[in-house]
């Protein structure tokens, strides 16, 4: 049952994603992409649970490395998106 439940979530999220992104204008495609990139850093959540088990085994090390990589994505992605979006200005607003 759990599996079906997860697949349901997947299906709905994909449709939702299509609906949301279809409306983004071309001007914002780069920030959209780097912003989405930051969201894909969500893997960090999974990595945390693997890196903190307290067992000094392989999966602990893999988890720790994954935390580092995903954090690059999260921090870098959100920061650079913000930096870009701050530059987008309407005519006359300085």
Partner 1 sequence: MSAMGLAIQMAFVVAAALFIFGLKLLGSAATARRGNMLSAVGMLLAIVAALLDQGIVEYQWIVLGFVLGGAIGAVAARFVQMTSMPEMVALFNGFGGMASLLVGAAALATAGSTFTLVTIVLSILIGGLTFTGSLVAWGKLSETIGSGAVTFRGQQIVNSLIVAGIVVSAVMFCLQPESSQWLYLIIGLSLLFGVMAVIPIGGADMPVVISLLNSYSGLAACAAGFAINSNILIVAGALVGASGIILTQIMCKAMNRSLTNVLFSGFGSVSTVETTVEGEIKPISVEDAYYVLEAATNVAIIPGYGMAVAQAQHVVKELAELLEENGCEVNFGIHPVAGRMPGHMNVLLAEADVPYDQLLEMDDINPRMETVDVAIVIGANDVVNPAAREVESSPIYGMPVINVDKARTVFVLKRSMASGFAGIENPLFYKDNTRMLFGDAKESIAGLIREFS
Size of the site for partner 1 (CB under 8 A): 83
The answer to whether the beta carbons of residues 79 and 56 sit under 8 Å apart is no
- Residue 1 binding partner 1, by CB under 8 A: no
Per CB under 8 A, contacts with partner 1 among 31-50 are: 31-50
- Residue 23 binding partner 1, by CB under 8 A: yes
The answer to whether the beta carbons of residues 63 and 70 sit under 8 Å apart is no
- Residue 92 binding partner 1, by CB under 8 A: yes
**Could you give the CA distance from residue 42 to residue 70 in angstroms, rounded to a whole number?**
7
Q: Nearest distance from residue 60's CB to partner 1, in Å?
A: 7
Per CB under 8 A, contacts with partner 1 among 60-89 are: 60-89
**Could you give the CA distance from residue 72 to residue 75 in angstroms, rounded to a whole number?**
6
**Could you give the CA distance from residue 40 to residue 87 in angstroms, rounded to a whole number?**
24
- Residue 4 binding partner 1, by CB under 8 A: no
Q: Nearest distance from residue 71's CB to partner 1, in Å?
A: 3
């Amino acid at each position: 049952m759990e599996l079906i439940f997860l697949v349901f979530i997947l299906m709905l999220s994909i449709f939702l994603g299509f609906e949301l992104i279809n409306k983004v204008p071309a001007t914002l495609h780069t920030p959209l992409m780097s912003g989405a990139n930051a969201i894909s850093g969500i893997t960090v959540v999974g990595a945390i649970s693997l890196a903190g088990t307290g067992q000094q085994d392989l999966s602990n090390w893999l988890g720790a490395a994954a935390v580092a990589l995903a954090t690059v994505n999260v921090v870098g992605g959100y920061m650079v998106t913000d930096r870009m979006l701050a530059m987008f200005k309407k005519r006359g607003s300085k």
